[in-house]
Amino acid sequence: MKQLRMIVLALLILAMATLACSLGSTEPASQSEESPPQATEASASETEAPPVAATEAPEPEVTEAPAESAAGDLEEAELDLNSSISGLENLNSYRVSFRFDWNGDKGGQPVSGYMQMRSAFVREPPAQELYFEGQGMEGEEDQGLGSVSFVQVGDTAWFHEGESGAWMQVPAGSLDFAEGLFFKPEDLLEDFDVSKGRRSLIPQQVNGVQSYKYTFDENDFNLSDLAAGEEVTRAQGEIYVAVDGGYVVRLVVDADFSYTNPDELFEEGNIKMTFDISDVNQPIDIQPPAEAEAQAGGRDDIPMLPDAQVEFASAELISYLTGSNSEEAAEFYEGEMPANGWTADEGNMTFEGGAFLNYTKGDESVSVIISTDENQTSVLISVSQE
């Protein structure tokens, strides 16, 4: 198996890459030819960033198969994960949760940590939310990775980083419905030989979806993938695959490892990874947090031109585009800022194609930079406090 620390880093990088794609892409997402079922009622929003806490996520409801099937009616079956992502294309909405926990001992001291990722997607009206948190990356329970949240509704997006504690409006990307996961579920099974899987004969109801259950254990582990000094003493894998669509509904990997590499997170310990897709085609209401919505309009005493198209907004910085030319934008601020109690600096400058304007009020300073490029005017407002 890959080094545990490398797995943690890889998952973190994948999460950030997913977020970067959401922020950077501007091409419209492709739509499935078939019209999926439509959600009709709004449920409670989950866009608020919850506090970072190493608590167990609620276990999804798993309705077991009849006793005569669950008791041992299994068949050898190769697990085909080709539809683990593409099978989502015909869904109207879904939630994803992933949690990775590790517990063990290192140098005679207990170590533990976790990473948790959650997301939700709605096709119409298009919206998504992503949330990540974690702690214990350095093998100490009080060492936190912090938290990151992202919400996009239509063509507007917001980003929240736990350390700053503030939401920022950011450029919105495309909402690629089927490619929005942090990673492919098969990435979590790469250490198992899935051709040796055992499948239940009768489907089970898992997270509200009829699914076939596949099971794996340490005997199916690819020992050739183990690094020097690494040993797996026990491993259990379960994966539930939707009967209709072939996507992964639930995946659980629970394994005990020992390492001699001092750079690993523990010397002996346990890892558990759980992946779930739930609320399939159920009503999901994704709304930006109230704080972010209020922030999008800026401060009342720092106005924006009426046709402002906000590109980025935070408590200290606002960037927007306007159809007004630079001269018109400069005249707007030269009139509106004093009317809102701001005093203009003597060194303010306006010139062809732009302006540098500075204002003060109390212990606050505001800088307004205006520039025109290719028939479009951009305005950058920064706020600082002395």
Set out the domains of the chain in order of their start, with CATH numbers.
Answer: 4-278 (no CATH), 297-385 (3.30.310.80)
Q: Which residue has the higher pLDDT, 258 or 140?
A: 258
Rounded Cα–Cα distance for residues 263 and 27 (Å): 41
Rg (CA), the chain: 26
- pLDDT higher at 257 or 244: 244
CA-to-CA distance for 66 and 59, rounded, in angstroms? 21
Number of neighbours of residue 131 by Cβ within 10 angstroms:
22
Cis check for the bond before 125: say yes or no (omega within 30 of 0).
yes
pLDDT at res. 196: 64
pTM for the model stands at 0.67
pLDDT of residue 183: 60
Give the whole-angstrom CA distance, residue 162 versus residue 287.
Answer: 19
Q: Cα(309)–Cα(312) distance, rounded to whole angstroms? A: 9
Spatial separation of the C-alpha atoms in residues 48 and 82, rounded to whole Å: 34
Given a cut of 60, whether residue 22 has pLDDT beyond it is: no
Is 60 exceeded by the pLDDT of residue 240? yes
Q: What is the pLDDT of residues 54-91, one digit of tens each?
A: 333 334 444 444 443 444 576 766 677 666 677 788 88
| For range 356-383, the mean pLDDT | 93
**3-state per-residue secondary structure call for 289-340:** CHHHHHHHCCCCCCCCCCCCEEEEECCCEEEEEECCCHHHHHHHHHHHHHHC
Separation between Cα atoms, residue 196 and residue 214, nearest integer Å: 10
pLDDT bucket at 231, cuts 50 / 70 / 90: confident
Collapse the DSSP code of 299 into the 3-class scheme (helix H, G, I; strand E, B; otherwise coil) and give the result: coil
